[in-house]
Structure 1
Amino acid sequence: MLKKIRRGLLPFMVLAALNACKSQPKPDTERIPLIIDADTANEVDDLFALVRAVNEPKFDLLAITSAQFHTSPYASDSTVAESQEINEHLMALLGRTDIPLPLGSNAPLEASDAPQDSEAARFIVKKAHELEEGRKLQLVILGSCTNVASAILTDSTIVPKMQVNYLGFWHDPVSNRYNKKEFNSGNDSIAVNVLLNRPGLDIRVMTATTSQHLVFHKTRVDAHLKGKGGMADYLVDRWESYERWWTQKDPEKTKWTMWDVALIEALVHPEWTRQKTFETPKENTQRHIQIYTHIDVDQMEKDFWAHINQFVD
């Protein structure tokens, strides 16, 4: 009888062991070493993107750095401090005060050979050098390029150790024409060109042209988040209280473009994207960069809500 019981239990014991292994977090060497640089106080989608990135099993989230956005009509004299404040508050709501939050520069670059020193730039340099041989630090830029460009200008030996994932400018994939008159690019055009002109720097771009198609609707946001307290209501309040200055369309704010979420989702699920290799803009050093030309918006939104449910009671 005992042998029969043991034989009957064996498949269940094996299955339990396999499930236990699956539930274990991946070792750091298998996860993507990531620093997110965000102008979080600028709009709404940055907050949603950060929530999506936190606790993602594929990420080794090393830090969230704060970025400036001085060209906004709402800009104060310390936009980076505003981004920093939201980063700190949001991580507290998520129970992730262990994630480092280095402060970035409050001003854009003044020249292509002059970095803006900041805690964020120094942290990027430090982490790039700490990585094991053969691994690349992934820099995710959701706003201005000031901090990442400053890190490279401070210590160019980090270039082979990093890959830049940039959300910015408009791009026509048919003609390969670039339009840098886009908000993120305009907040530090010198820094954008520092990155594009840097030989050997691995750059992957989620353009505004591609990311504009990921749009969330308020009805669905409310269904998932409204009245749930904590982080959930914080996101809803940000959506409702932030006044869009760039358009008169949709005054009731029934929908919002989730530009930044598109880039985070693309890193988690590259299979939902298409990338192509393009020459850099003609005014820049001629070399190849990768550009996302398509994203599966339905899969990305479904995945976002599946991830965020872990934070909502």
Structure 2
Amino acid sequence: MILQHTFNIPEEKKIRLIINSDTKNEADDQYAIVHAILTPLFNVRGIIGAHFGEHRTKHSMLESYEEIKRLLDLMNLTNEICAFKGAEKAMPNEQSPVSSEGSEFIIREALTDDPTPLYIIFLGPITDLAAAYLKEPAIAGRLTAVWVGCGIWPEGNMEYNLSNDIHAANVVLESEIPLWIIPQDVYVNPRVSISELAVKVKPHGDIGNYLYQQLVDFNLMMNKRTDWTNGESWSMGDSTAVSVLMDSHMFGYEMKPAPRITDDMRFLHYQNERMVRWYHYVDPRFTLEDMFAKLKLHYGA
């Protein structure tokens, strides 16, 4: 099934997109993936399953990969968009890439002759980009990476996506790859209530029902922990990566010198020439309402 959008986008505005996601880590990656697929501005070239450490499972990448395939099946897009396996674990150091079919796909897509701009959104650790760059540095000038990750400027702090591969983060931060960072204090802001999802997501096809139910189930499981959410809300943090590619949020970022990350995820500031785009604001209303609207347009009654 090829998606039929209700409006046209000028071809010169469209971009190629690769999604790299630790999809089964929790419950909002799934929303970001579906949002991206439903966005006509994007030509989704493939989706890479990422690992999320070994805190809950020894097979986190494979679980992410299977979840991606489940989403594509529910959207009847299994034959339209390819899923790839990413690295099974973090890099052991900054010189040793963990190769995977996902990193090989990044290299192939970056080095094609297609003049359409290539972007890759990373919704978990950035392992596969670091591996691709270490193997083929020429990709640096042929793609832009958007990462939902990193702690709060300027000191840094514990942040989950970063924690799952600090070595990879340092490789990319010291590379010449154009990098947009959506840090923790920004990506937490697109908050939803579960009631809102019941009204605006659940009714819209098999995919809407699945998106809603898997979040409800995960929320119930995780709220047995006292340090989790309040019980009736969620942050759609990963959807911010979709949002900044739809609209750059011109006044929502600054160019900052790339920090180096310490083992305890603090920022060291001495790279004065390597600059990255650091977001301080992504519009939650724009992000969430566009996702809800696209689900209704494609799967509404």
TM-score (structure 2 length as normaliser): 0.87
What does residue 107 of structure 1 align with? Answer: 89
CA contact (8 A) 1:33 1:138 kept: yes
Select which of 47, 70, 77 maps to 1:96: 77
Change (3 A) 1:235 1:284: farther
| CA 1:191–1:161: 2 relative to 1, 3 Å | same
Residue 87 of structure 1: aligned partner: 68
Other structure's SS at 2:147 match: strand
Stretches of 4+ aligned residues off by more than 4 angstroms: 249-252
* Structure number with higher helix proportion: 1
Q: In structure 1, the residue corresponding to 2:144 is in which secondary structure?
A: strand
**What do residues 214-266 of structure 1 show as CA deviations (whole Å, max 9, x unaligned)?**
10111110012335551111111111111337962676731101110112112
Q: Give 1:49 deviation, angstroms.
A: 0.4
SS at match of 2:47: strand
RMSD: 2.1
Q: Secondary structure at the match of 2:94?
A: coil
CA change 1:284–1:131 in 2 (3 A) is farther
- 1:287-298 matches, within 5 Å, as 287-298=274-285
Q: Secondary structure at the match of 1:138?
A: strand
Aligned residue number for residue 98 of structure 2: 116
**Residues 251 and 59 from structure 1, CA distance in 2 versus in 1: closer, same or farther, beyond 3 angstroms?**
closer
Residue-pair matches, total:
283
* Partner Cα separation in structure 2 for residue 251 and residue 278 of structure 1: 31
Per-residue CA deviations over 1:1-23 (Å, capped at 9, x if unaligned) read xxxxxxxxxxxxxxxxxxxxx94
For 2:45 and 2:100, locate their aligned partners in 1 and report how far apart those are by CA, in whole Å: 17
Map Cα deviations across residues 16-69 of structure 1 (whole Å, 9 max, x no partner): xxxxxx944543x53111101000000111001011001311111111100000
Residue matched to 1:35: 18
Q: For 2:118 and 2:164, how far apart are their aligned partners in 1?
A: 24
Q: Does 1:187 align with 2:170?
A: no
Q: Is 2:36 the partner of 1:47? A: no
Task: Tell me what 1:168 maps to.
Answer: 149
Q: Whole-Å Cα distance in 1 between the matches of residues 149 and 270 of structure 2?
A: 16
Indicate the larger mover: 244-253 or 274-283: 244-253
Which among 245, 256, 262 is matched to residue 267 of structure 1? Answer: 245
Q: Distance in 1 between matches of 2:92 and 2:58?
A: 17
Distance 2:223 2:126 in 1: 22
Conserved? CA contact 2:91–2:127, under 8 Å = yes
Alignment-mate amino acid for residue 292 of structure 1: Y
Q: In the TM superposition, what is the alpha-carbon distance from 1:308 to its structure 2 partner?
A: 1.5
Tell me if the contact between 2:59 and 2:88 (Cα under 8 Å) persists in the aligned partners: yes
Superposition map of 1:1-313 within 5 A: 23-24=7-8, 26-27=10-11, 29-72=12-55, 74=56, 76-97=57-78, 98-132=80-114, 135-172=116-153, 176-179=154-157, 181-198=158-175, 200-226=176-202, 228-242=204-218, 243-244=221-222, 248=226, 253-271=231-249, 274-281=252-259, 282=268, 285-286=271-272, 287-309=274-296, 310-313=298-301
Secondary structure of residue in 2 paired with 1:117: coil
- Measured in 2, the distance between the counterparts of 1:245 and 1:112 equals 36
2:13 partner amino acid: E
| Contact 2:201/2:292, CA 8 A, preserved across alignment | no
Larger Rg: 1
Among all aligned residue pairs of Structure 1 and Structure 2, give the percentage whose two residues are the same amino acid. 23
The alpha carbon displacement at 1:178 in A equals 2.5
For residue 71 of structure 1, report the CA deviation from its aligned partner.
Answer: 4.3
CA contact (8 A) 1:37 1:140 kept: yes
> CA 1:245/1:219 → structure 2, altered by over 3 Å: closer, same or farther?
closer
TM superposition score normalised by structure 1: 0.84
DSSP-derived class of the 1:220 partner: helix
SS of the residue corresponding to residue 252 of structure 2 reads: strand
> Where does the alignment leave 5 or more consecutive residues of structure 2 unmatched?
1-5, 260-267
CA distance in 2, matches of 1:268, 1:42: 25
Give, in whole Å, the separation in 1 of the partners of 2:251 and 2:236.
Answer: 16
Query: CA distance change for structure 1 residues 272 and 52 in 2, over 3 Å: closer, same or farther?
Result: farther
Judge conservation of contact 1:138–1:163 (CA < 8 Å) in 2: yes
What's the secondary structure of 2:152's corresponding residue? Answer: strand
